[in-house]
């Protein structure tokens, strides 16, 4: 069974930098898994942030960036704002289908 | 403005059937793969199904394979999800999601607001 693992929770101070990661049970995450990242705030539909590892959507704030780091997909937030407090999900393409990670709850404190 | 509007959710008994629809507007529907994603109460996101631009290629999560059928009507800009043999653990908000490009491997970009499916006796 394919499992995508994210940190369950992280805490960051306003103005700080934090990196969320996304690991795959099959092995190292590569660009061939086309990692995507999504943000979801309570009571709202998810919003796409990053596609194909590093690409931002037109609405994605500049402080969000995607990369590969140590065999994982990574989402880095630089200069964190209070409104960045949310759940973050990664998504990997695998075998024609897609697999979501369990999500990271980011607290800005 | 790109819009995805889901409909068809509701309360259904275990073993029952339901058909979800998603009306798309504001973009060239035939240029994008489409997805259904669900979220059970208090849980994370779960991929349900995807299909390519002409509907000829489909993929399903193991949890719904054989019970759910995804389809699209490119003449009506509509995505559908036919759900049968519904189980209690199918209870979730179901989101219609546009692909981030022509192929499903690009991922997802625009999300609808979701429609709630509740399976209960």
Q: What's the pLDDT score for residue A96?
A: 87
- What is d(CA B37, CA B61) in angstroms, rounded to the nearest whole number? 10
Instruction: Give the phi and the psi of residue B30 in degrees, each rounded to 5.
Output: -70, -10
Contacts of A98 in chain B (CB under 8 A): 35, 47, 50, 104, 107-108
pLDDT tens digits for range B40-89: 999 999 999 999 999 999 999 999 999 999 999 999 999 999 999 999 99
Contact B44 A91 (CB under 8 A): no
B95 to chain A, any CB pair closer than 8 A? The answer is yes
Q: What is the mean pLDDT of residues A40-44?
A: 97
**Min Cα separation B107/chain A (Å):** 6
Residue A1 reports pLDDT greater than 90: no
pLDDT tens digits for range A4-32: 999 999 999 999 999 999 999 999 999 99
Strand pairing class (B18-25; B3-7) = antiparallel
């Amino acid at each position: 069974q394919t499992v995508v693992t994210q940190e369950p929770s992280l805490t960051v101070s306003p103005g700080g930098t934090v990196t969320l990661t996304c690991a795959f049970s099959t092995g190292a995450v590569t660009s061939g898994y086309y990692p995507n990242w999504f943000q979801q705030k309570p009571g709202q539909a998810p919003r796409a942030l990053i596609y194909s590892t590093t690409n931002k959507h037109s609405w994605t704030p500049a402080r969000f960036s995607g990369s590969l780091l140590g065999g994982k997909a990574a989402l880095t937030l630089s200069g964190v704002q209070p409104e960045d407090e949310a759940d973050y999900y990664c998504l990997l393409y695998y075998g024609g289908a897609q697999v979501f990670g369990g999500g990271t709850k980011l607290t800005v404190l | 403005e790109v819009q995805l509007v889901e409909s068809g959710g509701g309360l259904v008994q275990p073993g029952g059937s339901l058909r979800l629809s998603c009306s798309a507007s504001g973009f060239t529907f035939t240029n994008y793969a489409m997805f259904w994603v669900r979220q059970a109460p208090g849980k994370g996101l779960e991929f349900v199904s995807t299909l390519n631009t002409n509907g000829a290629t489909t993929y399903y999560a193991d949890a719904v394979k054989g019970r759910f059928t995804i389809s699209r009507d490119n003449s009506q800009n509509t995505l559908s999800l036919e759900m049968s043999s519904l189980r209690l653990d199918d209870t979730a908000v179901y989101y219609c999601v546009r692909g981030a490009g022509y192929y499903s491997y690009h991922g997802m970009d625009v999300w609808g607001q979701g429609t709630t499916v509740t399976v209960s006796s």
